[in-house]
A and B are shown apart, each in its own frame.
Chain A
Amino acid sequence: DSHVQYERVGADVTMKCGSMDWDAAVTWTANGTDIDESHLNGSYLILKNVGLSQSGQYSCYEGSSWHLKYQTYLRVGTPPKEPVLMCRSNNYPKGFYCSWHLPTPTYIPNSFNISVIHGTKDMVCERDAVPKNRCHIRYLQLFSTVKYKVTLTVTNALGKNFTTLTFDEFAIVKPDPPESVVAKPVPNNPRRLEVSWQNPSSWPDPESFPLKFFLRYRPLILDQWQHVELSDGTSHTITDAYAGKEYIIQVAAKDNDIGTWSDWSVAVHATPWTEEPKHLTTEAQITETTSASTSSFMAPPTTKICDKGAVVGSGAVAVCWTAGLVVAAYSVLFI
């Protein structure tokens, strides 16, 4: 006969060759490979301080006839540690979901049982097909004063463990991050970026349960973020961007009144509008552009001189214009 045997890491395992006597002559194999006699005590196989690598199929054959007398699949593992449980409502007011995992693997199969108690009522948390370690529950009542108590029990052949979460309906509300975040430059505005986004699709009723948003942005070259909190609307125009710098922008969402902020959205990159292409390095190119741009006093070529701490106002333009003149004068000398 063949079966599965579970043992703890570090345990001493004794395997008997089925109904054979202790003094019978037998041969043991592990995954088809003969096992040395030093591991035998009579016909018993002794494995001391088993490790994960010793998992496998063990077979016992009668000495002379080579009849298979016993077979077992040894699986070495550990009893479960306290599981990690998280519950969250990203679809308020529809309901919430709970997801869990083990902090360390057990190397053997585990089964999970989840129970949800609301006051005196038992509720059913429906298991999701994918991902497996997740279940969801629908609210029957809204604005409840009674807490929800969720207990997760994990069991395997070597032991069991559990954890409990108790929370109010409002405490676990956390939307998914905003979706489809788009940032675009604004034509003829070197310091503006237009950002727009959408409510997370999992949020079922933004009309009655409006979301507010938090926008953060910074140029790639700086570490410090700037923040804007927006109580409604799904767009915002940044008006203080540094000219010509690439920006990274993210948005987060929160129910207007309850719960916590979502994670940050996927980051989007954008650079404000600039008049000229940025690769001006040769004198010939500088000469061409300065002679061509005498008609406009607007955004000068973005050379390194102008980029230093670009500040809004005519002052900066004047500096750049002067710089352009100086360069033009120089290039005239070199013709």
Chain B
Amino acid sequence: SPTGDSWGIFTFLCAALCNLPALPALNCSEELGAGQSIQQTYDLTRYLEHQLRTLAGTYLNYLGPPFNEPDFNPPRLARAERVPSATVDLDLWRGLTDNARLAANYRAYSRLLCYLRVLDGQVGTAELRHRLAHFCASLQGLVLSIGGVMSSLGYPLPAGPAGPPAPPGVPTAPNDFLKKMDDFWLLKELQTWLWRSAKDFNRLKKKVPPAVVTLRLEARGF
């Protein structure tokens, strides 16, 4: 069936593209140096949040109304649950261990990066492709940065973002409007994650001062 084929292609694309972030993190040990401090990761999230504002504005205009209307407030469809959500219970968020906190960020951005890359392959205008490509590169940098912090603190990197980003059986958007809805929610989740990460890394900053991170790296002979 046509939906089955496109689903297959989608899964393959994602699996292929999603395995990319994991490799450099393992090979490029120079990048896991002292530079990968929590402060730098925090700064990266702020930079990305700023970049996203421009990108989202351009992209939503490309999607056209109602997606680019400021008070567009659609209900969340079940299909949107594929995109990892930053929303969390307050006490749960407070109680996260450093490892869990970092891992949640790592997993989320790896998945989001994957989705964005698929988007990149589909958009029409050259300007949008250029912006998306630039953003994806920066987002990859963030994933690497988080991975670096985790490694330097002795935490194992979460199992790669490989595998289908959605449970099998959930089809790709059957029509143009729902596809645009998917894009809308992707950008929204990305934005919310970047706001959340700033808070996550603030908390980590207080609990794990950069000095500690550097010391551990020296002990490992980096």
Identify the interface centre among A140, A209, A257, A258: most chain B CB within 10 Å of its CB. Answer: A257
Q: Which residues of B contact A142 (CB under 8 A)?
A: 87-90, 93, 196
From A51-59, A143-151, A187-195, the one touching the partner chain is A143-151
Give the docked Cα–Cα distance between A147 and B89 (Å).
16
The answer to whether B199 and A145 have CB atoms under 8 Å apart is no
Judge whether A208 is part of the interface by a CB distance below 8 angstroms. Answer: yes
Q: Is the pair A209, B199 in contact by a Cβ cutoff of 8 Å? A: yes
Majority-rule SS of B interface residues: helix
In the complex, what residue of chain A is closest to B83 when comparing beta carbons? Answer: A145
Find the A residue at minimum CB distance from B71.
A166
Q: Tell me the A175-222 residues at the B interface (CB within 8 Å).
A: 207-210
Is the C-beta of A119 less than 8 angstroms from some C-beta in chain B? Answer: yes
- With A120-B75, A149-B73, A209-B202 given, is the CB distance from A257 to B195 under 8 Å? yes
Cβ of B129 under 8 Å from chain A:
no
Known: A142-B87, A143-B88, A209-B202. 14 other contacts (CB 8 A): A119-B75, A140-B89, A140-B90, A142-B90, A142-B93, A143-B87, A143-B93, A145-B76, A145-B188, A147-B73, A208-B203, A257-B49, A257-B202, A258-B195
A210 to B205, CA, bound (A): 11
In the assembled complex, A79 has its CB within 8 A of some CB on chain B? no
CA distance A143 to B195 in the complex (A): 8
- Closest chain A CB from B121 CB (angstroms): 25
In the complex, which residue of chain B has the Cβ closest to the Cβ of A208?
B203
Number of interface residues of A (CB under 8 A): 22
Q: Which residues of A contact B86 (CB under 8 A)?
A: 143, 145
Measured in the bound complex, the distance between the Cα atoms of B206 and A207 in whole Å is 8
B198 near A256: Cβ-Cβ < 8 Å: yes
CB 8 Å contact bits of B176-220 with A (1 = contact, 0 = none): 000000000100110111011011001100100000000000000
Contact of A208 among B73, B85, B88, B206 (CB under 8 A): B206
Within 8 A of A (CB), among B57-110: 71, 73, 75-76, 85-90, 93-94
Do residues A256 and B202 form an inter-chain contact, with CB atoms below 8 A?
Answer: yes
B118 to chain A: closest CB distance in Å? 20
A residues near B188, Cβ cutoff 8 Å: 145
A30-72 to B contact mask, C-beta < 8 Å, 1/0: 0000000000000000000000000000000000000000000
Given A93-B90, A119-B75, A208-B203, also A144-B198 (CB < 8 A): no
For chain B residues 115-160, which have a beta carbon within 8 Å of chain A? none
Residues of A within 8 A of B189 (CB): 145
Which of A142, A144, A166 is most buried by chain B, counting CB atoms within 10 A of its CB?
A: A142
The residue in chain B whose Cβ has the minimal distance to the Cβ of A257 is: B198
CB distance from B100 to the nearest CB of A (A): 15
Q: Contact between B73 and A166 (Cβ–Cβ < 8 Å)?
A: yes
Name 9 interchain pairs, CB-CB below 8 A, sorted by A: A120-B75, A142-B87, A143-B88, A144-B87, A146-B76, A149-B73, A209-B202, A256-B198, A257-B198
Task: Check B202 against A145 for contact (C-beta < 8 Å).
Answer: no
Q: Which residue of B lies closest to A148 (CB)?
A: B73
* A314 CB within 8 Å of chain B: no
Which 6 A-B pairs rank lowest in CB-CB distance, beginning with the nearest?
A257-B198, A143-B196, A143-B86, A145-B192, A147-B73, A145-B188
A-contact bits for B13-38, CB 8 A (1 contact / 0 none): 00000000000000000000000000
Chain A positions within 8 Å of B185 at CB level:
145
Whole-angstrom CA separation of A297 from B75 in the bound complex: 75
Known: A143-B88, A144-B192, A257-B195. A208 touches B71 (CB 8 A): no
